[in-house]
Structure 1
Amino acid sequence: FYTGNEGSIEGFAENTGFMWDIAPEFGAAIVFAEHRYYGKSYPFGNDSYSSVSNLGYLSSEQALADFAVIITYLKEVRLPHAKKSPVIAFGGSYGGMLTAWMRIKYPHIIDGGIAASAPVFWFGNVPAPPEHSYDDIVTRTFINSGCTLQSLSASFETIRKMADSSNGRKFLNERFHLSSDSQVKNANDGEELIYAIQSVLETMAMVDYPYPSNFLAPLPAWPVKVACKAFISAQNPEQSALASYKAVNLFYNYTGSEKTLCLLGGACGDPFSALGDPDDLFRPNWAITNYGVEFPTATNIVFSNGWLDPWSGGGWRLTPTFEGSLYSLIVEDGAHHYDLRGEHPDDTQSVKEVRRLEKKHITRWIKEAREKYNQQKRITKDRILYAEIAENIF
């Protein structure tokens, strides 16, 4: 059972091949459940985003309740022969958080969960990750892929200087192939361009897979290594600036279908806005209050993280370890929920081992769930027998 996250469920189904690969081994049905308010799951149709009142039902708690109801309905109505079948949850990123939280909130409905790249510690209070850990991991991923801090900084500084002059701005607009409504017109636009480039590099680190992929965008194998080649080969300021363009073009236009790029937020649309101040309508630290952080009473959860993934800084544990039946698995050369992707000829040895361990845990969870069910069945039979004996005696 995939706990759908923030997007259309089809994309997650296409990029979670691990479930498809192992399901036949367990004789399992596969269910991908879409998160309310995403894809086609609009509770109020086209008006779902039209008011605060309608949006009031968009929350992780409501999504988890949806999943619980869906599983119960499927087992009791649509798949009655699976009424006593164990259920294993899977999720990546926010979906991984939902998987972990669902096992915590509904342990009677799911028997275990694979929470991949789930930044469950990425909240404001203890034990929050270091303030700059996301960017630190991005930097580490790029340096390990051949870049240097000097080459990256030189590119940004060159763009900053170019944005200060008319000739420099002309160079940026033309050589970056910026669309007419996304032109660098002043120094502030130059800063915005740098921010856009850095955002691309951060996202590229998330999807640094060892083979061509199209999870967030069509990309070649090891895209960070490809991007780094331009940065480290730059011989002059113009080439240094263009290294950033090549990285951005690689991410947004690897297929070569786009003639121009729209990079400045005011023209292209900003998907995020300010989070608000401490006095806004949101409940401070509610995720911590609602779900906890260390999960001392939780059982049967695997938290997996990729060492290349910037989100791993908010992972449950950053080294391979276990506490009770909570396990931390690390894909040493893995990006964002790499282990949930389908088997590939170019898979690294590290991800193969993590998937092997995940299958081992899933096998154990299923065995334990069936043993528990059989034990309950025997107890029920014994109670019926005792009741019949007592009735005959009295």
Structure 2
Amino acid sequence: MSGSLSILIIGHLQLTAICLLIFTFNNLDNVKAFGPRRSALYTIDEPSKQLRPDDTPEPQENWFEQKLDHFDDKPENITWKQRYFMNETFYRNDSEAPIFLTIGGELAISPRWVTKGSWIKFAEHFGAMCFHLEHRFYGKSQPKSDLSYENLKFLTSQQALADVAHFIRSMNVKYNFNNKQKWIVFGGSYPGALAAWARQKYPHLIYGAISSSAPLLAKVDFFEYLQVVKTSLTTHSDNCLKAFGRAFAELETLIRQPIGQRNVNEKFNICTPIEESVTKPLDMSNFFQKLADNIAFVVQFNKVNRPEAYYTIGEVCNVMVNDTIGPPFERLGIVNGMVLENLKEKCLDYKYDNMLTEMRNISLLAKVANGTRQWTYQTCNEFGFYQTSNDKNDTFGDRFKVDFFIKQCMDIFSESMDAKYLEKVVSQTNEFYGGLSPKSTNVLYVHGSIDPWHALGLTASNNPNTPTVFIKGTAHCAEMYDAAKSDPPQLTEARNKILDYLAQLLTDSEM
């Protein structure tokens, strides 16, 4: 989306059946605000401004009184204002019309997602009411005055799901929805997991769910992410993957001698000369991780119909296999420059202390308050999702092992967030939600083979209650965007399968 699951960005993660669509429909218009990323759960983006007809007004902001702590029954429980948008355009307003609700993920929600995206086509087809609810602690939905470690204890997926449940109950009353009107939840990335979990935890409120590109399994050492990145690069050619491997190996040699260091500084547009950091392991881990992260960014959103024209696997691989440009490390430098320019970053800032300074800023006006600090906290407190590289002989080397990411949790938030703590909370998350063995029914899980996040998702199932759609050759949340002429037939087929599944849910007489 954020998105993407979202975004761990560090210094650089219902129609009359009320259609409760839990997307990570997040606003990435100002991409440069995010800076370098660490182990990112990039969220799905908002639709292009140009796609919205000029005569289609953006919906107004609405605000909803929400509880701070849903698990505290004390009368003095604090409340706060949560932002949402709505679209009644297609609502047929009868006793069986469904309702859709989109829930934001790791960034601010965008009003345009109430008028665009494949879920709006579904809403039009079924005559649904649509809502768009912002995730607590993101965007304008701030329960507290700052993002201190103490305040962030109220930022959990369980609290967010309880927000959804309380919102549904309240909207049922406000709009006099009856018990025959089905709430169907959709979501992509982190909210894709929320969608599945919402149906699982609140089946009396939510009838079904479409869960797209959702990492259901929390995992501290998510080494599989870059393994899928590698496999996806080979869809262009084996030579592309080999060229990336040689480039990283050459960098390891170059940074150890003065002439090589000067080459690295020049070819990779480094903010701080690399020679100042070659003896600082954390800086070097950050450097290599960021380079790998930029490649992963291209892979994760390969050919997705996003508003920004992000580079594709084909475009970066064409550079990497072109030996007339120069040795592999120079080609990697060109690819890195392409991504930096796309993300509007002036240079590659890899300094670990710079990252800590930014990430420790608790102000709601800080750059990292765009979702970076919040999502990082969620990974440190619930999910892990650290995209590691542990093998010196592998494509991306062994410079950013799991300890590197755990140390960031400890340095940014609390020394208590050590390896033992991460293993405990991740285990608790999987026990609470079920990991890849969810206990829910009426959930359709959708993934693309190019998307590295499918490694933590449900891509095949023999359980008729949890069917799956696995789309060959598509990337993160691809089916959630508006259709495009360039869409491959399997993507169109996937959207049709989702539409058929929704029809099945909405005609099901069991309530």
Which category of TM-score, normalised to the shorter sequence, fits these structures?
Answer: 0.7 to 0.9
Q: Indicate the residue corresponding to 2:226 in structure 1.
A: 135
Judge conservation of contact 2:305–2:478 (CA < 8 Å) in 1: no
Q: Indicate the residue corresponding to 1:39 in structure 2.
A: 139
Compared with structure 1, are the counterparts of its residues 51 and 190 closer, same or farther at alpha carbon in structure 2 (3 Å cutoff)? closer
Runs (5+) with no aligned partner, structure 1: 125-129, 374-394
Q: Indicate the residue corresponding to 1:308 in structure 2.
A: 450
Cα separation, 1, equivalents of 2:329 and 2:423: 43
Q: Indicate the residue corresponding to 1:365 in structure 2.
A: 505
Q: Indicate the residue corresponding to 2:205 in structure 1.
A: 109
Shift of 1:84: 3.9
Q: Indicate the residue corresponding to 1:158 in structure 2.
A: 250
Judge conservation of contact 1:142–1:228 (CA < 8 Å) in 2: yes
Q: Indicate the residue corresponding to 1:22 in structure 2.
A: 122
For the pair 1:229 / 2:318, whether they are aligned, the reply is yes
Shift of 1:89: 0.6
For the pair 1:206 / 2:300, whether they are aligned, the reply is yes
SS of the residue 1:324 aligns to: coil
Cα separation, 2, equivalents of 1:290 and 1:25: 35
Judge conservation of contact 2:199–2:443 (CA < 8 Å) in 1: yes
- After TM superposition, list the pairs within 5 Å mapping 1:178-257 onto structure 2: 178-179=270-271, 181=272, 183-188=274-279, 192-209=286-303, 213-214=307-308, 218-220=309-311, 223-235=312-324, 238-254=326-342
Judge conservation of contact 2:218–2:426 (CA < 8 Å) in 1: no
For the pair 1:173 / 2:265, whether they are aligned, the reply is yes
Number of residues of Structure 1 aligned to a counterpart in Structure 2: 352
- 1:247-294 deviation line (CA, Å, top 9, x unaligned): 222222138x65534344443556652352225796451112222235
- 1:361-386 deviation line (CA, Å, top 9, x unaligned): 11111111xx345xxxxxxxxxxxxx
Compared with structure 1, are the counterparts of its residues 213 and 70 closer, same or farther at alpha carbon in structure 2 (3 Å cutoff)? same
Cα separation, 2, equivalents of 1:15 and 1:252: 31
What TM-score results when the alignment is normalised by the length of structure 2?
A: 0.63
Compared with structure 1, are the counterparts of its residues 182 and 8 closer, same or farther at alpha carbon in structure 2 (3 Å cutoff)? farther
Partner of residue 262 from structure 1, selected from 345, 349, 353: 349
Query: Letter of the aligned partner of 1:254 in structure 2?
Result: N
- 1:183-230 deviation line (CA, Å, top 9, x unaligned): 45343555543221112112221111255643xxx514xx12111111
Runs (5+) with no aligned partner, structure 2: 1-100, 360-371, 377-407, 410-416
Which has the larger Rg?
A: 1
Cα separation, 2, equivalents of 1:248 and 1:16: 32
Compared with structure 1, are the counterparts of its residues 243 and 265 closer, same or farther at alpha carbon in structure 2 (3 Å cutoff)? farther
Shift of 1:168: 1.7
Cα separation, 2, equivalents of 1:103 and 1:56: 24
Q: Indicate the residue corresponding to 2:364 in structure 1.
A: none
Q: Indicate the residue corresponding to 1:127 in structure 2.
A: none
- After TM superposition, list the pairs within 5 Å mapping 1:234-383 onto structure 2: 234-235=323-324, 238-254=326-342, 259-268=346-355, 273-274=408-409, 276-279=418-421, 283=425, 285-295=427-437, 297-317=439-459, 319=460, 321-368=461-508, 371-372=509-510
SS of the residue 1:326 aligns to: coil
Cα separation, 2, equivalents of 1:286 and 1:15: 37
- 1:301-349 deviation line (CA, Å, top 9, x unaligned): 01111100111111123x4x44122111101011111111121111111
Q: Indicate the residue corresponding to 2:172 in structure 1.
A: 75
Cα separation, 2, equivalents of 1:110 and 1:357: 20
Query: Letter of the aligned partner of 1:203 in structure 2?
Result: F
Cα separation, 2, equivalents of 1:264 and 1:14: 39
Cα separation, 1, equivalents of 2:114 and 2:246: 39
Q: Which moved more, 1:2-11 or 1:152-161?
A: 2-11
Judge conservation of contact 1:182–1:263 (CA < 8 Å) in 2: no
- 1:12-71 deviation line (CA, Å, top 9, x unaligned): 938971112221111112212111111111111x23x2242x222111111001001111
Judge conservation of contact 1:7–1:38 (CA < 8 Å) in 2: yes
Judge conservation of contact 1:101–1:291 (CA < 8 Å) in 2: yes
Cα separation, 1, equivalents of 2:489 and 2:149: 49
Cα separation, 2, equivalents of 1:330 and 1:345: 21
Compared with structure 1, are the counterparts of its residues 37 and 164 closer, same or farther at alpha carbon in structure 2 (3 Å cutoff)? same
Q: Which has the higher helix share?
A: 1
Compared with structure 1, are the counterparts of its residues 277 and 131 closer, same or farther at alpha carbon in structure 2 (3 Å cutoff)? closer
Indicate the RMSD between aligned Cα atoms, in angstroms.
2.8
Judge conservation of contact 1:3–1:89 (CA < 8 Å) in 2: no
Shift of 1:140: 0.4
Query: Letter of the aligned partner of 1:244 in structure 2?
Result: L
Cα separation, 1, equivalents of 2:115 and 2:215: 19
Compared with structure 1, are the counterparts of its residues 184 and 97 closer, same or farther at alpha carbon in structure 2 (3 Å cutoff)? farther
Shift of 1:296: 6.1
Q: Indicate the residue corresponding to 1:376 in structure 2.
A: none
SS of the residue 1:278 aligns to: helix
Query: Letter of the aligned partner of 1:335 in structure 2?
Result: A
Shift of 1:175: 2.5
Q: Which moved more, 1:57-66 or 1:280-289?
A: 280-289
Query: Letter of the aligned partner of 1:164 in structure 2?
Result: R
Compared with structure 1, are the counterparts of its residues 294 and 232 closer, same or farther at alpha carbon in structure 2 (3 Å cutoff)? closer
Shift of 1:102: 0.5
Query: Letter of the aligned partner of 2:338 in structure 1?
Result: L
Compared with structure 1, are the counterparts of its residues 95 and 306 closer, same or farther at alpha carbon in structure 2 (3 Å cutoff)? same
Q: Indicate the residue corresponding to 1:87 in structure 2.
A: 183
What TM-score results when the alignment is normalised by the length of structure 1?
A: 0.80
